[in-house]
Structure 1
Amino acid sequence: MNLKTPHIINEGIEQYQLGELKGNHIHYDFEKILIYLDVKGKLLFGEKFKIHKEDREILYKLCNYQIRDWQNCKKLNIDINKGILLSGPVGCGKTSLMKLIRHITPQYPSFELIPTRNVTFAFNHIGYKIIEQYGDNRFYCFDDLGIEPIGRFFGKDCNVMGEVLLSRHDLYLKYRFKTHCTTNLNAQELEEHYGNRVRSRMRQLFNLIAFDKKCLDKRR
């Protein structure tokens, strides 16, 4: 990446210009971003990947958030200071889109995508240090929130991701460190899984961006 031209991204011998650089500000073009995301998606996930028309609204929100377009985000009721909670049915493409949008802003720090079940499995092996580990100042997207099992360490049960989210909430209040998540669950299911205390803090942590519940499984 050339820091002087962060709006131009190289993929092999090809260049993709996502907008125009005017002074210190990039005026992004959503259609050009979509062209690049389609190319990058095929590189990451294979030739069968494509941008579906029904996903354009979701992508418009995610892209405006990722490029930090304050004006559009305000219109979309998105708080740039919060993280993203991307929800939708199984197979709608949540994980793929979160992996993709990182690539349109190489000038910004990226986040690490962590499956929630891996966090629980690590807790079962190592214990409470895992909760401390993910309660640090790094930038994470926790994938598939709500499908992970309850953790158990030395015979004691623990809702591991619930504790991690409480730690991340503390970090957000003190330092504005953001957290992202994807989930198949709706708000009521999240509250049933994690309790009202965690759910209320999630409202402060996240912007909710949701696929239509009738969205088709793209894996089929």
Structure 2
Amino acid sequence: MADPSKIIENEIEYSIGNFTGFEMIYDFDKILIYLDVKGKSLFGVDFKIHKGDEEVILKLCNYIVKDVKSCQKHDIDTEKNILLSGPVGCGKTSIFKLIQCIVPRQRAIEIIPCRNIVFGFNHLGYKIIEDYENGGNICFDDLGIEPYGSHYGRDCNVMGEILISRYELFLKSSFKTHATTNLDSKELEERYGNRVISRMREMFNLVSFNSETLDKRK
């Protein structure tokens, strides 16, 4: 059986904890070292993990490795999904891509820009919405800033409809529906309405970057 505490990156072995033979005990300090290396590999040599982001990364790591006790300390339910919020450029999408790397044996989470989904709806219509009822682990990226959809003159709040469909999937399956957003709860409610927001509250854990987090793309 392969040791899940060891990850090879560019022919170098990194430890992210200790595997006892039947239990994996993660070490967050070691995880940060590996994530910094992996981040540079994925996003370029200028990538670095900022001290102010470590609390968010810790919560996400605890969630993705299913550390129930640690998640409970941060009021995170491992049965729910993640809504990762924060200001523009704070690194939400990059961090979501990165944390998956510490659990390479888990089913991958596909990260899909919401605007691309709407463009697909404009071209193909309601088939796009139906496609997302069928499963898959997905993170909807930049939720709330996508345009409204229109197919042959019929307007549609595409992501609102998809979120309702994914809520039904959440109730009856183990497939995950995550999202990143720049908007706060009030802005999301204005965008999607109370019906969708009530379902989002039930299916998502909210994990937020500090509102003062710098735009790392500048």
TM-score range, shorter chain: over 0.9
Structure 2 gaps, min length 5: none
Question: How much does 1:12 deviate?
Answer: 1.9
- What is the aligned partner in structure 1 of residue 71 from structure 2? 73
Once residues 136 and 6 of structure 1 are traced to their aligned partners in structure 2, the CA distance between those partners, rounded to angstroms, is 30
AA of the residue aligned to 2:115: R
Q: Which moved more, 1:30-39 or 1:167-176?
A: 167-176
Question: How much does 1:22 deviate?
Answer: 1.0
From 138, 149, 158, the equivalent of 1:160 is 158
Question: How much does 1:114 deviate?
Answer: 0.2
- What is the aligned partner in structure 1 of residue 14 from structure 2? 16
1:199 matched to 2:166: no
Task: Return the TM-score normalized by structure 1.
Answer: 0.97
- What is the aligned partner in structure 2 of residue 41 from structure 1? 39
- What is the aligned partner in structure 2 of residue 149 from structure 1? 147
- What is the aligned partner in structure 2 of residue 137 from structure 1? 135
Name the % identity: 59
Once residues 22 and 144 of structure 2 are traced to their aligned partners in structure 1, the CA distance between those partners, rounded to angstroms, is 41
AA of the residue aligned to 1:82: K
Structure 1 gaps, min length 5: none
Task: Return the TM-score normalized by structure 2.
Answer: 0.98
Once residues 175 and 66 of structure 1 are traced to their aligned partners in structure 2, the CA distance between those partners, rounded to angstroms, is 17
From 98, 101, 112, the equivalent of 2:99 is 101
Once residues 136 and 35 of structure 1 are traced to their aligned partners in structure 2, the CA distance between those partners, rounded to angstroms, is 37
After superposition, the C-alpha distances for 1:29-87 in whole angstroms (9 at most, x for unaligned) are: 00000000000000000000000000011011011001110110111110001110000
Once residues 76 and 182 of structure 1 are traced to their aligned partners in structure 2, the CA distance between those partners, rounded to angstroms, is 19
- Measured on the aligned residues, the alpha-carbon RMSD in Å equals 0.8
| Structure 1 stretches of 4+ moved >3 Å | none
Q: Which moved more, 1:210-219 or 1:123-132?
A: 210-219
Once residues 152 and 175 of structure 2 are traced to their aligned partners in structure 1, the CA distance between those partners, rounded to angstroms, is 31
Q: How many residues align?
A: 218
AA of the residue aligned to 2:105: Q
After superposition, the C-alpha distances for 1:118-172 in whole angstroms (9 at most, x for unaligned) are: 0000000000000011122100000000110000001010000000000000001
- What is the aligned partner in structure 2 of residue 182 from structure 1? 180
Question: How much does 1:190 deviate?
Answer: 0.2
AA of the residue aligned to 1:92: C
AA of the residue aligned to 1:148: E
- What is the aligned partner in structure 2 of residue 88 from structure 1? 86
